[in-house]
Amino acid sequence: ICCAGTMSPNNSPKLMDLLDDTVPGIGTYEDFNTIDWVREKSKDRDRHREITNKSKQSTVALLFSISDAFSGWLLMLLIGLMSGALAGGIDIAAHWMTDLKEGVCLNGLWFNHEHCCWASNETTFQERDKCPQWKSWAELMVGVSEGPGLYVVNYFMYMCWALLFAFLAVILVRAFAPYACGSGIPEIKTVLSGFIIRGYLGKWTLIIKTITLVLAVSSGLSLGKEGPLVHVACCCANILCHFFTKYRRNEAKRREVLSAASAVGVSVAFGAPIGGVLFSLEEVSYYFPLKTLWRSFFAALVAAFTLRSINPFGNSRLVLFYVEFHTPWHLLELIPFVLLGIFGGLWGAFFIRANIAWCRLRKNTCLGHYPVLEVVVVTLLTAFLAFPIEYTRMSSSELISELFNDCGLLDSSKLCGYTSNSGSASGSVNATAANGLGARLAGPDLYTAMWQLALALLFIPSMAVGAIAGRLLGVCMEQLAIRHHERDIFRGWCSPGADCITPGLYAMVGAAACLGGVTRMTVSLVVIMFELTGGLEYIVPLMAAAMTSKWVADALGRESIYEAHIRLNGYPFLEAKEEFRHKTLATDVMRPRRGDPLLSVLTESGMTVEEVERLIADTTYSGFPVVISQQSPRLVGFVLRRDLVISLENARRNQEGVVSMSPILFTECDPPMSPSAPPAVKLRSILDLSPFTVTVHTPMEIVVDIFRKLGLRQCLVIQNGRLLGIITKKDILKHMAQMANRDPDSILFN
Amino acid sequence: ICCAGTMSPNNSPKLMDLLDDTVPGIGTYEDFNTIDWVREKSKDRDRHREITNKSKQSTVALLFSISDAFSGWLLMLLIGLMSGALAGGIDIAAHWMTDLKEGVCLNGLWFNHEHCCWASNETTFQERDKCPQWKSWAELMVGVSEGPGLYVVNYFMYMCWALLFAFLAVILVRAFAPYACGSGIPEIKTVLSGFIIRGYLGKWTLIIKTITLVLAVSSGLSLGKEGPLVHVACCCANILCHFFTKYRRNEAKRREVLSAASAVGVSVAFGAPIGGVLFSLEEVSYYFPLKTLWRSFFAALVAAFTLRSINPFGNSRLVLFYVEFHTPWHLLELIPFVLLGIFGGLWGAFFIRANIAWCRLRKNTCLGHYPVLEVVVVTLLTAFLAFPIEYTRMSSSELISELFNDCGLLDSSKLCGYTSNSGSASGSVNATAANGLGARLAGPDLYTAMWQLALALLFIPSMAVGAIAGRLLGVCMEQLAIRHHERDIFRGWCSPGADCITPGLYAMVGAAACLGGVTRMTVSLVVIMFELTGGLEYIVPLMAAAMTSKWVADALGRESIYEAHIRLNGYPFLEAKEEFRHKTLATDVMRPRRGDPLLSVLTESGMTVEEVERLIADTTYSGFPVVISQQSPRLVGFVLRRDLVISLENARRNQEGVVSMSPILFTECDPPMSPSAPPAVKLRSILDLSPFTVTVHTPMEIVVDIFRKLGLRQCLVIQNGRLLGIITKKDILKHMAQMANRDPDSILFN
């Protein structure tokens, strides 16, 4: 009666039911392997179903089911609070340590420069960064308060501190958490796509990353904060997941939480919760159901408000570089904005190439053996070049903040060194001031600032480059407009008492263009910038620059910096954005290739324990298809190597009478056997009865689509009902590399 | 040699290549059918591949390839411009016609009330809506300028105009474009998921929908504008698609454009481009690749700026109800906000049930036969009840604008009838004014306004209900805080010279809660409201209300108003948001069921034209699997009924010697045949060689996931290599209906 045709759902053994109950280890993954999204999601649905069914039986179970439903929200709240608090701490510590390179506050060591002088009463608003309580190292140590000695001692101390911070950072990373190095976004993208890197999001990585981020920022090394903050937020999320069974035991659910955490990271890095969610959606996430969108948004908001209540910048804002512009822009200004976009695109493409070339050099030559030396040399060089120029001496977020800033009347920054602000009432100024426009003519201070910025442009990377380039262009445009305000082309731009154009807006557009060129973000970039300015007014310039920048950069190379690093490291990442455009079929990609030995398969009955063990020992495949018989290779199911190994070991250890000659059965019911034969090992419970199949004629573009959308690890290839081969994610990635004329062996992992 | 084992990609016939070239009609769909996303996307990739290959050959082809790449952007630009312009026109026309119900401007008929009095010099700022040029109908017709006669004549004229507008609207819809009725979003969701409704997005629908939207809004019928505007934008997109081959001939590509258009619709309805894109992503779209996200954003921005340059509200804003709040909110205020959320959720659930019950009544009883009468009666009733109350007489966007508004010093609205504004210097006021808080004590005007609002609450639907409820609660809270400002609980809320709390914010939160309860939007709702206020400050109240509202409404019924209407109409829509949680297998859903006759299949050879034609005539299936032979039902491919019918007709007509006894061949090469036999009809070119398959053991949750993510129409069910059955989208929907204890026959279409 058993095995007779169709089956009802109630008496057939279910794969998923048994996974958790049987042998420990079954249903888990090895390090540096890809998870099976379909299996993980099924596991979660089974879990949910069980809880729902039980909840109808007792009140306790009902309460448990409700708490289970809300545990996701609680987790998001905790992630938001923890990441927000950490980001606030990092900002405060980095600010304090950056200032420590220059001097100390006598009122209290824990004050940074700005707070020190706020507390002082002897300072005026105009010179708010000068106060007697703040002592530079030279004043403190040598007692000099002026002259070249002061400068030299300060210079020396600055370099010493920078060196100390950088040295500490690199030592900490090497000693405790090698995963804490780098931006982290390429790895997080790979992890989110289903890869397993144990320890990458662990507590040690979190602690060391947090400390070294502060140290690295303070040492003056130029790096973006968004990557490390995303990594920190993901570490928080991963650690907090351990307290919730639902997320601890399911790799797919955990990745949903990590997607939300990457939104949180960007939210605290830029103070842009909506932008963060879009960044996660557009740039980082692989599987992003709509439920996650809403939760990510919640977590991002909580984090943003936690950060704001910590108020690390003392301005009630989420970021140092919040701005408010008031002057409208003119249609003609789109030309410089598009120019900035072109610059950003070129710079992005150049930066990616240079960065990848450097990493490759480090990988392939002996340079890679001396990372401490490398960091020390780079730090020394940076510090040596940075100190003399005011704009490189400050931290890069302070610099960006200054560049974005619109000059008010009381601004003491050199960038606002217009003739009216510089205080010298020369004759020419009065002449132009008569028509009310002279106030915005460039003074000598502004010219100095421009030269210094142009110098700084040479060796400061990332967003700041764009901001500097933008500000330079902005000031040029402004002076042009003022000096030629009577020309037709500029008519109506300048009205007395108001600014002609906003150089700060140019800085912002430039920053967006460069960031766009490097990361190829689109909507999220514009939304982040929109959240910084808070007005729809300036979206069009930002959009124009971001679009141009992406087009230019894409024309020079399709990959963003993250994708380039993923490829460099050989991670098994199936990019969702780029379509597979080649006209190959499944038969061209599947293994075995023509001429290769036949596909290694198991039969549903008739194999012994010894034969299977030999097959496992002889091959390295991560799974085996199960067919009816070698003669009739019709597919029954698929079994994973890891599950098979664990089950066989378990059978040998725990099942009585199992010997090498014991038959292995994947069938639903036992075939007739002689009573003297050794007992069979029944393995149907580890058999996946619904493996994905395609035909040999299926175009690869569809196969790639299936792999991406369903998150498969492997797929079997069938022709007219007969099993012919197998395609794994690695095969697809190798095939894609080959089609793009790259080395297929650069794909390292399964 | 032919048919010998594996095939190289170059000599095998490709399905997709031949589709366009062979018989006309092959590869298209019938009305009220679902498209095959996989096929459409393959077609587009083939097209793209061809253009890329050609572009290497000549400069003209290269230019064509570039113009093809940018045609998507051009299309988006045109959609943005056209939708923005239409939305502006609709706003202006509706505003003018709403005022026409009350009177006319003597300076020019084309002025609305507000513009009429702007143009007049005789009006002061305080009484800016009273001027001699604006004549009410009573003044104009009867000559009375005061007294009850005036009121009665105006009342009568108001009802006449409303009736005329509503009558015109319903007649136009019935006569020219029946698809122009209703909100349109349920249908657009269905269309975007791959359904075909010819004419639903055509030019007649566009014209009639635009006119009737103006008429219906002006007649005072309470309806939301976002649904019709999304429909209008989608019509524009569909019409503009006709000018671009890439989009005209590909249903999948066209749906990408329509997704962007729905973002455009919301962008112009609420003046929220980012919110629009998120709305499209979260609520409407089915297939939304990231490329579309960026393009949608571009189109939404273009539309928003087009609308703004038309400036229909004369305030340089995108919407009538743009607001700026300044007072921060207090943590304790979260309690009323959550209360508003609960109200919104309850109201949403109630509204959906009432609406569906009404529609069901109209469908099942004779009420459905008299739509004109229904509209006329509803309009008369609305107009009769609306005229006496000031807040129902104005259009609902004006009402919302007034409710959101924060009272300034010069505001003449009754809602701002605080004691300081009302002008009467009574003793008690002066007493309280001493401590600077009296200015916000409620005056008699405000009390009248509150009563009128409470009345209006009874019969105005949608967003306005929420806004009214919010404003009422807000004013209550405000008065409470002022009158008890010395209590501990309110300490620090009120400071002299500033508002204690912002009643306008409550109105906004209430509107969000009600909208959320009805539509179940989450992120997009909060982002839309964020774009209206322009500050992150107020996101937390909005989020709290939106979350509560969604939870409360979901507890009372899982479906949003759109989903409820989709179900009511029996559209084949596979909801992506709700997970399939039942533990059934593919074998439980596939056809044929146990006891049914065998699955109708074709064999790859051995059938004659007559046999196939009989099979087509005897069945209504939309496609047939092709197997090796009836005895060995191993799958070769799948052929669509429509393609088969067209090919057979074509063969009978154009191929020489085809008779009823001609064999039909789906094989790659011809089997040996006697020379006297009639010529074979070769149909391999219409055979889909890579149909999707699942096994009988595949859980339905995975099958549903595959259907959703890949956009399938059907899927074949296999056991151990043998074809056993087929599952179509309709089967899945019926199964889902059955599992949810609904009538499976309510699913009407394929």
The answer to whether the CB atoms of A290 and B577 lie below 8 A apart is: yes
The answer to whether the CB atoms of A277 and B523 lie below 8 A apart is: yes
- DSSP letter assigned to residue B697: T
Distance of residue A623 Cα from the nearest chain B Cα, in angstroms: 18
- B585 has a chain A CB within 8 A of its CB: yes
The answer to whether the CB atoms of A38 and B702 lie below 8 A apart is: yes
Could you say which of B547, B699, B722 has the minimum Cβ distance to residue A721?
B722
Average the pLDDT over B139-158 and give the result. Answer: 78
Q: Kindly indicate the confidence band of residue B19, based on its pLDDT and cuts at 50, 70 and 90.
A: very low
| Upstream peptide bond of A592 is cis (omega within 30 degrees of 0) | yes
Query: Among residues 351-390 of chain B, which lie with CB inside 8 Å of chain A?
Result: none
- pLDDT by residue (tens digit) across B534-590? 667 788 889 999 999 999 999 998 889 899 999 888 888 888 777 788 889 999 999
- B540 has a chain A CB within 8 A of its CB: yes
Q: What is the DSSP string of B448-491?
A: HHHHHHHHHTTT--THHHHHHHHHHHHHHHHHHHHHTTTSSTTT
- B720 has a chain A CB within 8 A of its CB: yes
- DSSP letter assigned to residue B718: E
Q: In this structure, how many other beta carbons lie within 10 angstroms of the beta carbon of residue A199? A: 12
Asked if residues B472 and B509 have their Cβ atoms less than 8 Å apart, the reply is: no
CATH architecture of B586-746: Roll (3.10)
- pLDDT for B27 beyond 80: no
Q: What are phi and psi of A374, to 5 degrees?
A: -60, -50
The answer to whether the CB atoms of A536 and B318 lie below 8 A apart is: yes
Average the pLDDT over B106-115 and give the result. Answer: 79
The answer to whether the CB atoms of B690 and A695 lie below 8 A apart is: yes
Pick the CATH number of A331-408+431-569 from 3.30.413.10, 2.170.150.70, 1.10.3080.10, 3.20.20.70: 1.10.3080.10
Q: In this structure, how many other beta carbons lie within 10 angstroms of the beta carbon of residue B194? A: 25
Domain A62-310 CATH superfamily: Clc chloride channel (1.10.3080.10)
- pLDDT by residue (tens digit) across B702-733? 999 899 888 888 999 998 888 999 999 989 99
Range scoring the smallest mean pLDDT among A298-312, B18-32, B71-85, B506-520: B18-32
Q: In this structure, how many other beta carbons lie within 10 angstroms of the beta carbon of residue A579? A: 15
Average the pLDDT over B320-325 and give the result. Answer: 69
Q: To the nearest 10°, report the CA torsion of B629, B632, B638, B641.
A: 50
Mutate one of A256, A583, A718 to test the B interface: name it (highest B CB count within 10 A).
A583
Could you say which of A45, A536, A710 has the minimum Cβ distance to residue B706?
A710
Distance of residue A229 Cα from the nearest chain B Cα, in angstroms: 21
Tokens 């573009």 -> residue = A701
Q: What are phi and psi of A442, to 5 degrees?
A: -70, 135
Report chain B's mean pLDDT, rounded to a whole number.
82
Regions of chain A short of the pLDDT cut 70: 1-23, 119-130, 144-146, 222-223, 314-322, 408-412, 419-440, 456-462, 495-499, 534-535
Kindly list the residues from chain B whose CB atom is less than 8 angstroms away from the CB atom of residue A605.
none
H or E segment to which residue A665 belongs: strand A663-665
How many Å from the N-terminal Cα to the C-terminal Cα in chain B? Answer: 42
- B42 has a chain A CB within 8 A of its CB: yes
The answer to whether the CB atoms of A547 and B594 lie below 8 A apart is: no
Of all residues in chain B, the one with the smallest CA distance to A582 is: B49
Q: To the nearest 10°, report the CA torsion of B23, B28, B29, B35.
A: 140
Distance of residue A45 Cα from the nearest chain B Cα, in angstroms: 7
Q: How far is CA B553 from CA A177, A292, A540, A566, B471, in A?
A: 47, 19, 38, 44, 21
Query: Among residues 544-573 of chain A, which lie with CB inside 8 Å of chain B?
Result: 547
- DSSP letter assigned to residue A406: P
Kindly list the residues from chain B whose CB atom is less than 8 angstroms away from the CB atom of residue A578.
none
Asked if residues A723 and A601 have their Cβ atoms less than 8 Å apart, the reply is: yes
- DSSP letter assigned to residue B282: I
The answer to whether the CB atoms of A12 and B697 lie below 8 A apart is: yes
- A503 has a chain B CB within 8 A of its CB: no
Sheet with strand A635-640: strands edge to edge: A602-603, A623-627, A635-640
- B92 has a chain A CB within 8 A of its CB: no
Kindly list the residues from chain B whose CB atom is less than 8 angstroms away from the CB atom of residue A700.
none
ipTM: 0.87
Distance of residue A555 Cα from the nearest chain B Cα, in angstroms: 12
Distance of residue B326 Cα from the nearest chain A Cα, in angstroms: 14
Kindly list the residues from chain B whose CB atom is less than 8 angstroms away from the CB atom of residue A635.
720-721
The answer to whether the CB atoms of A696 and B282 lie below 8 A apart is: no
Say how far apart CA B346 and CA B555 lie, in whole Å.
10
Distance of residue A498 Cα from the nearest chain B Cα, in angstroms: 20
Q: Where are the alpha helices (DSSP H) in A177-283?
A: 185-192, 203-218, 226-241, 245-248, 251-270, 273-279
The answer to whether the CB atoms of A634 and B699 lie below 8 A apart is: no
Mutate one of B697, B700, B704, B735 to test the A interface: name it (highest A CB count within 10 A).
B697
Supply the CATH classification number for the domain B331-569: 1.10.3080.10
Which pairing describes strands B714-719 and B693-695: parallel, antiparallel, or unpaired? Answer: parallel
| Upstream peptide bond of B592 is cis (omega within 30 degrees of 0) | yes
Nearest alpha carbon to residue B717 among A91, A6, A569: A6
- A293 has a chain B CB within 8 A of its CB: yes
Kindly list the residues from chain A whose CB atom is less than 8 angstroms away from the CB atom of residue B527.
274
- B19 has a chain A CB within 8 A of its CB: no
Asked if residues A178 and A187 have their Cβ atoms less than 8 Å apart, the reply is: no
Asked if residues B21 and B230 have their Cβ atoms less than 8 Å apart, the reply is: no
Asked if residues B690 and A699 have their Cβ atoms less than 8 Å apart, the reply is: yes
CATH topology of domain B73-310: Clc chloride channel (1.10.3080)
- The pLDDT value given to residue B316: 63
- pLDDT for B20 beyond 60: no
Distance of residue B288 Cα from the nearest chain A Cα, in angstroms: 11
Say how far apart CA A234 and CA A280 lie, in whole Å.
12
How many CA atoms lie within 13 Å of B106's alpha carbon, on the beta-carbon side? Answer: 10
Kindly list the residues from chain A whose CB atom is less than 8 angstroms away from the CB atom of residue B522.
293-294, 297
Mutate one of A690, A696, A715 to test the B interface: name it (highest B CB count within 10 A).
A690
Nearest alpha carbon to residue B698 among A668, A42, A251, A727: A42
Query: Among residues 236-255 of chain A, which lie with CB inside 8 Å of chain B?
Result: none
The answer to whether the CB atoms of A274 and B277 lie below 8 A apart is: no
- B531 has a chain A CB within 8 A of its CB: yes
The answer to whether the CB atoms of A697 and B706 lie below 8 A apart is: no
- A718 has a chain B CB within 8 A of its CB: yes
Mutate one of B12, B274, B279, B707 to test the A interface: name it (highest A CB count within 10 A).
B274
- The pLDDT value given to residue A2: 36
Q: Where are the alpha helices (DSSP H) in A534-593?
A: 539-556, 561-569, 586-589
Asked if residues B446 and B435 have their Cβ atoms less than 8 Å apart, the reply is: no
User: Which tokens go with A638?
Assistant: 């698929």
Nearest alpha carbon to residue B307 among B267, B261, B274, B262: B267
Kindly list the residues from chain A whose CB atom is less than 8 angstroms away from the CB atom of residue B49.
581, 583
Higher per-residue pLDDT: B19 or A117: A117
Q: How far is CA B160 from CA A356, B72, B142, B509, in A?
A: 74, 47, 16, 36
Tell me the domain boundaries of chain A: 62-310, 331-408+431-569, 586-746
The answer to whether the CB atoms of A588 and B698 lie below 8 A apart is: no
Asked if residues A630 and A598 have their Cβ atoms less than 8 Å apart, the reply is: no
A-B contacts at Cβ under 8 angstroms: 173
How many CA atoms lie within 13 Å of A434's alpha carbon, on the beta-carbon side? Answer: 6
Higher per-residue pLDDT: B145 or A746: A746
Which pairing describes strands A663-665 and A607-608: parallel, antiparallel, or unpaired? Answer: antiparallel
Could you say which of B301, B536, B698 has the minimum Cβ distance to residue A540?
B301
User: Which tokens go with B168?
Assistant: 């015109």
Distance of residue A708 Cα from the nearest chain B Cα, in angstroms: 10
Burial A131-155 (b: 16+ CB within 10 A, else e): bebbbbbbbeeeebeeeeebeebbb
Could you say which of A536, A576, A689 has the minimum Cβ distance to residue B695?
A689
Can A62-310 and A586-746 be said to share one CATH topology? no
Q: How far is CA A110 from CA A106, A116, A158, A476, B297, in A?
A: 9, 9, 18, 41, 46
- A294 has a chain B CB within 8 A of its CB: yes
Range scoring the smallest mean pLDDT among A91-95, A250-254, B318-322, B344-348: B318-322
